[in-house]
A and B are shown apart, each in its own frame.
Chain A
Amino acid sequence: MFGAGGGTNSYAEVEETDVVFLWGSNARAAHPIWFHHLLKGVRNGTRLYVMDPRRTDSAKWADVWMGLNVGSDVALSNTMAREIIHAGLAHAAFIANGTTGFDVYRAAVEPYTLDVGEQLTGIPAAAIREAAHTFATADKAMICWTLGITEHHNAVDNVLSLINLCLLTGHVGRWACGCNPLRGQNNVQGGGDMGAIPNRLPGFQDILDPAVRAAFERHWGVPIQPTYGKNLTEMLHAMEHGKITALLCAGENPVQSDADGNKVARLLGGLDHLVVQEIFLTKTAQLAHVVLPATASWCEADGTVTNSERRVQRVRKAKEPPAGARDELWILAELARRLGTDLGNPTAEELWNEFRTVAPAFAGGMSYARLESLGGIQWPCPDESHAGETFLHGRLWETPVRGRPAPFSVVEHAGPAEQPDAAYPFLLTTGRRLESYNTGVQTGGYASPLHYGETVDMSPEDAVMLGCADGDLARVSSRRGEVTAPVRIDRALRAGLVFMTFHFPDSVDTNVLTNDQYDPKSGTAEFKACAVRIEALVASVGAR
């Protein structure tokens, strides 16, 4: 945020802050060891608010569970913002010094009175008011979120609305204050760091900046396109319109992980040429013309990954890969050679050192030797005398402010793209469980006593209405597809809201249901909300 694509704080800070808004995150299940740090905070007296439509295992630790309606996050944050402004609790000195656009923002949130907020979010006005006042008057406060914020068709607006709250209250750029996305994969942060995103070159340098492009063109000796590339969702659209006809897919299983899976399978199956670089013959790999067996990068190869506190850490080869599997760097270099470019055979460390030279302000000081001796380093780390940054954006407090001030963003409540109606009366939201991971490629094979397969989780009220009991089979259908799964009654859910994971797609392919309506700014699809119909296939005796 503010030009640096990473969380602002360290895990240690959540132990020492006064208030945490854990927003759209079931970190107890999805980020268990980070949650240990949060629990230390809770035991130190941190007041914890959990914003989640479900009363999750994380919410059970909260001082206040704010069970908002799915997709009403902007309404909640805008309502809190208006309340903070009207109560005179905005941090005027910080706003004047380090931000821009406050007046427009203030006008934009004006319609979000407590009553309107209650209407839109389903949270009592008094609870919204209390949370707003507690957040604004806290000495130190943090907002942490995950996919409950970003898997919506207005994902970026959701994020911006949370950043607004931190700017409004001066809860950023200080120890134990800030905004932190918890990353869902061990190197989703590192992929961005290294430029494996469509709009940035290594070190989050903007591809539209001519000076940036010129530097990389000098370094690499090739022209760089002056436009953003396509994100995943845009790539699927381009395939649909024949604009992309060949694809290299490395370590991703979009047939089962993407929304509207039937459509993804059709699009990938229709390509002229699909190459999948994988460690298993996944459903996506089964569609490929060529499969390149790769090593498991975390234990069969060397390199680095970056975590949710921006800490770059070493991964190391602990075992030999199976016969025939090749190091991913070797595969890339060989592909390049066959496409007419000799990249040599660089080691992970050599590539890392090249990265340090093209992104010196970002990682110049992070030699492998220092990563080793310091147990990882948090970016930015410009030189070898620098210890790395525990928190970001302290510059916003400097007078006069160094660099560009942080802009407020005007965002409006939009709600889920697909709302329940007479034909599809339930809202399905999807998520993750503790013992499983994404499409289950990695977690399907270990014998966890916690595995119980896919279920459709619903409130006791809905189960009674549908006439089904725990374990009964139900058909779940949306406008895009249908699946059959056993019912699991979960008191964490309210009437009208059902929950599924996508951990067991071989038996229950939840993502044939989900809506591929996506955020034009991030390309993330709306996994968190789609309308479904549920029919009990076997009405259990005595359930009525």
Chain B
Amino acid sequence: MTTTLISIERPTRAPKKPLAFTIDGRAVTVEEGTTILAACRTIGIEIPTLCFLETLRPVNACRLCVVEVEGARVLAPSCSRTAEAGMVVYTKSARVIHARRLVLEFLASSVDLSTTPGMAELLAEYDCKPERYGPPKPHALAGERDAAIAGHHAAPDPDFAATVGQPVMVDNDLYVRDYAKCVLCYKCVEACGADHQNSFAIAVAGRGFNARISTEMAVPLPDSACVYCGNCIAVCPTGALMAKPEFDMRAAGSWNIEAQTTTDTICPYCGVGCTLSLHVQDNTIVKATSPLENSITLGNLCVKGRFGWQYVQPGPSADSATTRDG
């Protein structure tokens, strides 16, 4: 046994106490501080989420993950509500199913969810009929939603379902913002803000149905505090934020996930050693991401890692001096 002058190891935290409760009639034991959602996942109970991500602080925005807690007046968001000893939780009660259907129908009637992974299956599973609210209202004009004044609301149009639709914003070469697809989950705001990037280039502006993600004073991205790390794209659950190459390929009909390989390697730039997952289609890098569970990146990258690989792409490019012709 070695003796050291003082303790040199990482201070150990007191072990968390176990607590027992029931989910859908099944007894579960978890550590103190575990959320209901995490507890459900340990026993294989699926709970749908939109605004939740392991690497972000829960904001309880979407209410899709609600569960019923016996004795509680309202449904609880399972992503942030921690389990308590003796708690009795129902994840599939009639109230829960009804609430989730409501959330999904409202979202699907007002937001373009066509590029949200798994959404079609979820709408079917919860028997959602968003079309009963009427046909979607045509998109607002460019800048119209950004000009909305808090507290001023137009009267509802009975012929249409209200939507958040507006034209796609393409104001730079690296990524586009299609806020017709935005469910206001806040993930991009959190990733850009205190949770990861601390750039604070975007926030939620406006109130109620006029609420939208905005740069400061709704300026174009190149005039904002954005540093193009794309960490907002990485957490966006609906494809509202999308890297330009993917956006362009989808528009051209050439985006083909089945034909893509994903290979993890290490970023070629500084010495931090971020894992880059390179998504390659036809020997061309079409997207770079980083695994959420990677201890170095937590899914984050900087502008060079996320976008700076044009120089290894095959074929001609705008700058032939720095691109290798295959």
Binding site for B on A (CB under 8 A): 11-12, 16, 30-34, 36, 39, 43, 61, 93-94, 97, 173-176, 182-189, 279-280, 296, 298-300, 305-309, 311, 313-320, 322-323, 325, 375-376, 390, 394, 397-399, 402, 434-437, 440-450, 506
Contact = CB atoms under 8 A, between A and B. Distances in A.
Contacts of B254: none
A390 to B, nearest CB: 8
Contact of B270 (A30, A316, A399, A447): A30
Contact of B312 (A182, A296, A314): A296
A308 B267 contact: no
Given A323-B326, A441-B322, A186 B269 contact: yes
Contacts of A43: 194
Interface string B285-326: 100000000111110111111011111101001110111111
Interface in B271-293: 271-275, 278, 280, 283-285
A441 B311 contact: yes
Given A33-B300, A186-B268, 5 more contacts: A299-B312, A306-B273, A437-B270, A446-B311, A448-B308
A436 B270 CA distance: 11
13 contacts: A173-B8, A186-B268, A299-B278, A315-B265, A318-B285, A397-B8, A399-B5, A435-B227, A442-B268, A445-B317, A445-B323, A449-B174, A449-B222
Instruction: List 9 A-B pairs, minimum CB-CB distance, nearest first.
Output: A183-B271, A307-B273, A447-B173, A318-B263, A32-B302, A445-B322, A322-B326, A446-B310, A318-B278
A189 B272 CA distance: 10
B4 A33 contact: no
Contacts of A376: 273
Q: Of B174, B221, B229, B312, which is in contact with the most chain A CB atoms at under 10 Å from its CB? A: B312
Given A185-B271, A186-B273, A307-B273, A33 B301 contact: yes
B10 interface: yes
A174 B307 CA distance: 38
Given A298-B266, A298-B268, A319-B285, A39 B198 contact: yes
Given A397-B4, A434-B303, A449-B228, A175 B272 contact: no
A442 B310 CA distance: 8
Contacts of B24: none
A197 B305 CA distance: 27
Contact of B309 (A394, A446, A506): A446
B5 A182 contact: no
Contacts of B115: none
A434 B302 contact: yes
A434 B306 CA distance: 13
Contacts of B259: none
A394 B273 contact: no
Interface of B: 2-6, 8-11, 172-174, 194, 196-198, 221-222, 227-229, 261, 263-275, 278, 280, 283-285, 294-298, 300-305, 307-312, 314, 317-319, 321-326
Contacts of A398: 2-4
B303 A322 contact: no
A36 B298 CA distance: 10
B304 A435 contact: yes
A318 B261 contact: yes
A315 B294 CA distance: 15
A399 B4 contact: yes
B320 to A, nearest CB: 9
A298 B73 CA distance: 56
Q: Of B8, B271, B312, which is in contact with the most chain A CB atoms at under 10 Å from its CB? A: B271
Contacts of B272: 11, 31-34, 182, 307-308
Contacts of B229: 32
Nearest to B173: A447
A441 B298 CA distance: 28
B29 to A, nearest CB: 28
A313 B270 contact: no
Given A434-B227, A449-B173, A298 B311 contact: no
Contacts of B227: 434-435, 450
Nearest to B244: A447
A62 to B, nearest CB: 13
A322 B314 contact: yes
A449 B294 CA distance: 28
Contacts of A314: 264-266
Contacts of A39: 198
Contacts of A299: 263, 265, 268, 278, 285, 309, 312
A361 B211 CA distance: 59
Q: Of A12, A300, A314, A449, which is in contact with the most chain B CB atoms at under 10 Å from its CB? A: A449
Q: Of B227, B273, B310, B325, which is in contact with the most chain A CB atoms at under 10 Å from its CB? A: B273
B274 to A, nearest CB: 5
A93 B265 CA distance: 45
A248 B300 CA distance: 37
A318 B308 contact: no
B154 to A, nearest CB: 35
A250 to B, nearest CB: 15
A12 B172 CA distance: 34
B277 to A, nearest CB: 9
B271 A308 contact: yes
Contacts of A447: 173-174, 310, 318
A376 B307 CA distance: 24
Nearest to B261: A318
B308 A446 contact: yes
A186 B228 contact: no
A279 B324 contact: yes
A336 B229 CA distance: 43
B271 to A, nearest CB: 3
A298 B265 contact: yes
Nearest to A440: B322
B267 A298 contact: yes
B18 to A, nearest CB: 25
B308 A443 contact: yes
Contacts of B4: 394, 397-399
Contacts of A436: 304
Nearest to B269: A437
Contacts of A320: 283
B8 A319 contact: no
A301 to B, nearest CB: 10
A102 B87 CA distance: 61
A319 B280 contact: yes
Contacts of B274: 33
Given A279-B324, A447-B173, A437 B271 contact: no
B273 A305 contact: yes
Contacts of A445: 310-311, 317-319, 322-323
